[in-house]
Amino acid sequence: MSRGPGMIVRAVAAFDRWVMDPVDPRPLCWFRCWFGVLCLVNVLLLWPDMPMWLGDDGVLPPAAHRPPLPGPSLTVYNACSGMAAIWLIRSLGVTGGLGLALGILPRCAAACTWLAVTSYSWRNPQILHSGDSLFRIAAFFLIFARTDAVLSLPRWLARRLGRQDPAGTIEAPTQVPAWPQRILQLQLCILYLVTGIWKGCGKAWWDGSAVGIVLQMGEFERFPIPDLLATPVMSRLLTWVTLLFELGFPFLVWLPRARLPLLAFGLAFHAGLEWILNVQLFQWTITAFYLLFLEPVPRRSSSAEGERQRPTAAAGTGSVAAAGSAAAKAAPVRASSPTAA
Amino acid sequence: MRSSSSRQPSRRLAPPLPRHWQTILVAGYAFAAFSWSMPARLFPPKALLDGVCGAVLNVFGLWQSWDMFSPDPRREDIRVEVRFANRDGTSHSLMLTAMNAMGYGERLQKERWRKFFNDHLRLDDERSLWQPFAEFMVRALRDEGQDPVSIELVRWWRAAEPRVSPQARPDVRQAPWGSYTFYRWRVPAEFQP
């Protein structure tokens, strides 16, 4: 067999292992919890304007409605319309957000959130921003993820009431299927790569004027822009750094040594955008995905308390310590990189 | 008995197929999402892939686009205004998307206003939105005790400065605004919201 096909076989096998090998559930649980809070805030921000955006007497009555894409969609509008649909979206949104944040039936909560966001997205696509796409996509794949291992109110209550581990030890999170986490990680990489490619097609992103133009738009202004940033030199610098970061992230994030510095830079980058740009929850949602790239330090085994579990190479180079880790069963952590797998 | 070396080639010839449906799903979704959001001219298989996967992305609400401020950011600051005249002869105006004149909380909550009015309603390509919005305004104004007999939709714009400077910041900028009334509707007497 020639070398080329052999490499393909090995690459496919490595990808298969990366997708299928079970992983520590904590990053997905952290993501689920914070994502739930953001979903809740999103629904509450939309709440007062829902009759205007989504109602039969709103800006887009049913006769003027155009779905975002032709073809069937799964929305609450298949079952009801008008104020009934609005109240159903509100109920689903609040229930879903709370359920995700608190870890109460998280798969059902994800389904509620997904249905709420998909429904208002279908009813009025003219009010959507990129954050709504992230809400829809993440909620959909969280339906298939097991995310109740930590940061879960029912689990916490069960421990408080002594229904679990009467010895007083904390039950360890067991490993969970990796594929929902992998698909969300890849989604973030696709987002950065594609937005970088789109920007690369524009003249203003090459000549360094793009950020300077955006900074002049009062419609996007959140907080006052420091004078330091409103100069041609800073415009060029910020424009090119944006382009480099967005095109580089999808590749560098898989390198264990580069991961943490890259995520830290990304946080600072989006915090800056949050200061400058009024794009509602987009910066918060996109950085929530960063939690999926953190690799928890393995917990100590309760059966062999006192013995330090040997950290994996990947965890040793790019891990973040999970705060308050307690004695627990062994939960070996695998690399979240196809190359490392 | 066969030697281990004679068995090796047959093991290597295994087809490069993933063993699990989840692997196919992850790879398939990644390709579909990438294709869906890419510019058509840079990704020739887009038409084919989108045709195959588009219906699935649509049904499950997984459609997406990541082209904010690209390929080039818009070079105009935009606002949209509604003017109306009441039956008693008084006239009023509401600036809907003067975002940086709003408080911080209000501009966060009303970001979708900017999206709807500035990115869609003001555009000639979206003229199908004008009449429904005018009718909505009449209903909303009547609920507030007004009696509008005419509605005008006005777009405002000012160009970005050719050279960035602290004086070009939106909160201190003195550039002149242009305006254009893009829709007028005289409310018929028989109009019942």
Convert the pLDDT of each residue in B88-108 to its tens digit: 999 999 999 999 889 999 999
A62 domain residue, yes or no = yes
B16 pLDDT band, cuts 50/70/90, is: low
Residue of A nearest to B113 (CA): A127
To the nearest whole percent, how much of chain A has pLDDT over 90?
67
Average pLDDT, integer, range B29-51: 94
Task: Note whether A190 contacts B30, CB cutoff 8 Å.
Answer: yes
Full residue range of the structural domain in which residue B178 is found: 76-186
pLDDT digits (tens, 9 = 90+) for A82-139: 999 999 999 999 999 999 999 999 999 999 999 999 999 999 999 999 999 999 999 9
- Token pair belonging to A334: 């695998």
Residues B86 and B141 in one domain: yes
Residues A189 and A150 in one domain: no
B10 domain residue, yes or no = no
A233 domain residue, yes or no = yes
Q: Whole-number mean pLDDT of chain A?
A: 86
Residues B166 and B127 in one domain: yes
- Token pair belonging to B27: 């790879």
pLDDT of residue A300: 60
Number of domains in chain A: 2
Task: Note whether A20 contacts B19, CB cutoff 8 Å.
Answer: yes
A30 domain residue, yes or no = yes
Residues B80 and B59 in one domain: no
Q: Is the pLDDT of residue A292 over 80?
A: yes
Report the candidate in A216, A61, A93 with the shortest Cα–Cα distance to residue B164.
A216
Full residue range of the structural domain in which residue A150 is found: 23-158
How far apart are the CA of B8 and the nearest CA of chain A, in angstroms? Answer: 10
How far apart are the CA of B90 and the nearest CA of chain A, in angstroms? Answer: 24
Mutation for testing the A interface, residue in B5, B19, B22, B131 having most A CBs under 10 Å: B22
Residues A67 and A193 in one domain: no
**Domain boundary residue, one of A107, A142, A158:** A158
A266 domain residue, yes or no = yes
Q: Is the pLDDT of residue A304 over 60?
A: no
pLDDT digits (tens, 9 = 90+) for A26-70: 999 999 999 999 999 999 999 999 999 999 999 999 998 888 888
pLDDT digits (tens, 9 = 90+) for A154-163: 999 988 887 6
Task: Note whether B26 contacts A179, CB cutoff 8 Å.
Answer: yes
pLDDT of residue A51: 97
Task: Note whether A199 contacts B70, CB cutoff 8 Å.
Answer: yes
Residues B94 and B179 in one domain: yes
Alpha-carbon distance of A85 to A62, in angstroms, equals 13
Residue of B nearest to A190 (CA): B34
- Token pair belonging to A197: 């490619």
pLDDT of residue A235: 93
B1 domain residue, yes or no = no
Q: Where are the beta strands (DSSP E) in chain A?
A: 295-296, 319-320
Report the candidate in A221, A26, A68, A213 with the shortest Cα–Cα distance to residue B102.
A221
Size of chain A in residues: 341
Average pLDDT, integer, range A194-202: 96
pLDDT of residue A67: 86
pLDDT digits (tens, 9 = 90+) for B123-182: 999 999 999 999 999 999 999 999 999 999 999 999 988 788 888 787 777 788 999 999
DSSP state of A208: T
